[in-house]
Each structure stands twice: as structure tokens, then as C-alpha cells.
């Protein structure tokens, strides 16, 4: 439990929750029930720390229950009593904020969540909830500030990332929006709304940099190229084209092909192509491809990168680099 509490103070919430789940039951060592840790009975200390973890993870009702149990086990402990009072007040502030938000009284909801944060200034849930209010009020900068606070406490907090990305889009900060949507795309690979938001942010970023954007639409797939004329036309399109030279019988090609399909969805502003060198030897000869899998990246018809048997990490790093 000391370890759990330490992880909690370091904002390593996933590790804290994982460690909490393997704490042994005290029933199996009942002779330890009267042992005190930092002046608190052992069983009370377990509930005391559990309440803090539940609060940090946004499970407010569970936090109140755990804090109440800590107080029942060790009713004379001042620290347990203070925590119980604090947890009840924070849970009440959050519930009041939620009710006000549902009633579209966003300014008052901000104030309610703020009351909770004054009592629990490291609560990422309350920061994210208040960020939602600022978003509804059109206060994009304030919303980003609260999302930043939430993410500094809980770095992979999906709701905070979604909210910050949406705010950056509203402010036309396209590079920041793309960065958040790319993280979300990795975390939520099957979420079509995230994929589409990423695509539109990538297109807007290109336009903001003065790049010409033609015939770009959401929902592309890896295009199979069979003739040299088709190949040259495809790589000459405006923007970036990534070509996967492969053989159907090659094991490495079979292993990396699903990843290329995933990249196509993850980076929809890029044109992905595939060429089977056995079926299209003219293209392979023209591009001097002898080993597969080989990947070549073209920009406006000019080759800018070539990779032979790259790792997935290297391939995605290169694709991401040229997507900007």
C-alpha cells in the first residue's frame, strides 16, 4: 500500500491501480489487523489509500465508500476523518458540476468543478470536466489549459486528448491538432471519427503552409499498381506517395502488409501504393527493385526516401516525417 500511495503521488495512476489489485487480503493474516502504519490501523490504511486511487481515477462513489470504511475501521484517526470529509465534498462538487453541465449552465458548472479542484488540485477528471465547460463557452484557450493540466497528471487520458485536439482545431493550430489526433489514432485505431478528424487536420495543416492540395478525400486504401504508366501517374500526383514493392509469396511482405494497411488509415493524407514485382516486372526494373519488401517515398513525382526491409518503427517514422 505504501507503493500504491507513492505511485499515486507520482501520478502513475495505471501502475497504482495495478499494484492495488494485487494487495493481499488481510483476512489471511488477521494477527496484523491491529498493526499501525503511520499511526493508522492496517485495514484502515488500505481503505485510506484505495479511496485516494478511486478519487484520482474518477470513481467518486467508490472513493466515498472506501473513505467511509477507513473511518469505520479506525474512527479515532484524524487523517482518515479529514480524507472522508474531503472526498465527500469533492464528490459533491463533481455531481453538482455534472448536473449544471447537463442543464447547459456551463459557467456555473465551471465554478462547481473549480470548487472540487480547490480541495483536490491533482484531479485530472475535474480538470477535463471543466475543460468541457470552457469548450462549450467558446473559451478554447482556457479549455486547453485545463486539458494540459489533466494530461500532466494522466498522460494517456483519452477525453482530455480529444478535447485538446478539438480546441486546437477551433483555434486553427493545425500542427498541435494533428499531433494529438495521431496519438488518439494509435490509441483508438478503429475509431472512424478520430481518423476523419486527423485527415481534415492534416489537410488544413498542408493548406496553412501554402501547399497545394488536390483530390484529397477521407477513407483511402492501398492502391494496387500494375502498369508503368499507372505507376508514374500515381507517384506524380501532388503530395506524398508511399510505394510498397512486394511479392505475394514473401513472408516478410505478408507480415508487414497489414501494418501498411493500418498506416494508410492512420495517415489518410498520404497516397499509399503497392506493386507486386513478380506481376509487374517492368515497374520493378524501372525502379531497380531487387529485394522485398522495399518502400519508396515520392513527393510530387520525385523519390525522396528508400527503405529496404525496414522495421515497422522505421517505416512509420518516415511516413510521419513526410506527412507534414
- Judged by DSSP in three states, 324 sits in coil
* Beta bridge pairs of residue 274: 224, 244
Question: The whole model's pTM is what?
Answer: 0.66
Closest CA to 131 of 143, 120, 140: 143
Domain 223-323, architecture per CATH: 3-Layer(aba) Sandwich (3.40)
Classified by CATH at the fold level, domain 2-92 comes out as 1.25.40
- Mean pLDDT by runs of 10 across the 324 residues of the chain is 86 84 65 70 87 87 90 87 89 94 96 94 94 96 97 92 96 94 87 85 86 61 91 88 96 95 81 95 96 95 95 93 79
C-alpha dist (Å) from residue 136 to 55, 101, 130, 176? 25, 10, 10, 20
Q: In whole angstroms, what is the distance from residue 57 CA to residue 47 CA? A: 15
**Domain boundaries, given as residue ranges, for the chain:** 2-92, 223-323
Amino acid at each position: 500500500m505504501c507503493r500504491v500511495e507513492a505511485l499515486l503521488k507520482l501520478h502513475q495512476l495505471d501502475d497504482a491501480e495495478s499494484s492495488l489489485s494485487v494487495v493481499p487480503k488481510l483476512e489471511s493474516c488477521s494477527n496484523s489487523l491491529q498493526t499501525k502504519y503511520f499511526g493508522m490501523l492496517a485495514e484502515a490504511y488500505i481503505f485510506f489509500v484505495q479511496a485516494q486511487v478511486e478519487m484520482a481515477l474518477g470513481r467518486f462513489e467508490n472513493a466515498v465508500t472506501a473513505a467511509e470504511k477507513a473511518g469505520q475501521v479506525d474512527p479515532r484517526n484524524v487523517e482518515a476523518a479529514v480524507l472522508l470529509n474531503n472526498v465527500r465534498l469533492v464528490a459533491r462538487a463533481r455531481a453538482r458540476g455534472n448536473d449544471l453541465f447537463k442543464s447547459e449552465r456551463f459557467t456555473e458548472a465551471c465554478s462547481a468543478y473549480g470548487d472540487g479542484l480547490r480541495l483536490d488540485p491533482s484531479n485530472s477528471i475535474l480538470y477535463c470536466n471543466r475543460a468541457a465547460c470552457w469548450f462549450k463557452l467558446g473559451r478554447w484557450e482556457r479549455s486547453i489549459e485545463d486539458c494540459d493540466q489533466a494530461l500532466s497528471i494522466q498522460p494517456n487520458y483519452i477525453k482530455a486528448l480529444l478535447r485538446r485536439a478539438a480546441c486546437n482545431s477551433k483555434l486553427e493550430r493545425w500542427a498541435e491538432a494533428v499531433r494529438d489526433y495521431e496519438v488518439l489514432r494509435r490509441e483508438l485505431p478503429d475509431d472512424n471519427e478520430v481518423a476523419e478528424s486527423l485527415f481534415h487536420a492534416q489537410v488544413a495543416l498542408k493548406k496553412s503552409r501554402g501547399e497545394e492540395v488536390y483530390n484529397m478525400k477521407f477513407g483511402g486504401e492501398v492502391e494496387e499498381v500494375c502498369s508503368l504508366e499507372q505507376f508514374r501517374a500515381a507517384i506524380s500526383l501532388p503530395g506524398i506517395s508511399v510505394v510498397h514493392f512486394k511479392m505475394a509469396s514473401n513472408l516478410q511482405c505478408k507480415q508487414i502488409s497489414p501494418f501498411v494497411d493500418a498506416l494508410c488509415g492512420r495517415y489518410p493524407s498520404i497516397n499509399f501504393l503497392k506493386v507486386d514485382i513478380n506481376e509487374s516486372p517492368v515497374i520493378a526494373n524501372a525502379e531497380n527493385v531487387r529485394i522485398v519488401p522495399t518502400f519508396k517515398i515520392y513527393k510530387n513525382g520525385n523519390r525522396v526516401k528508400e527503405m529496404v526491409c525496414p522495421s515497422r518503427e522505421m517505416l512509420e517514422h518516415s511516413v510521419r516525417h513526410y506527412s507534414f
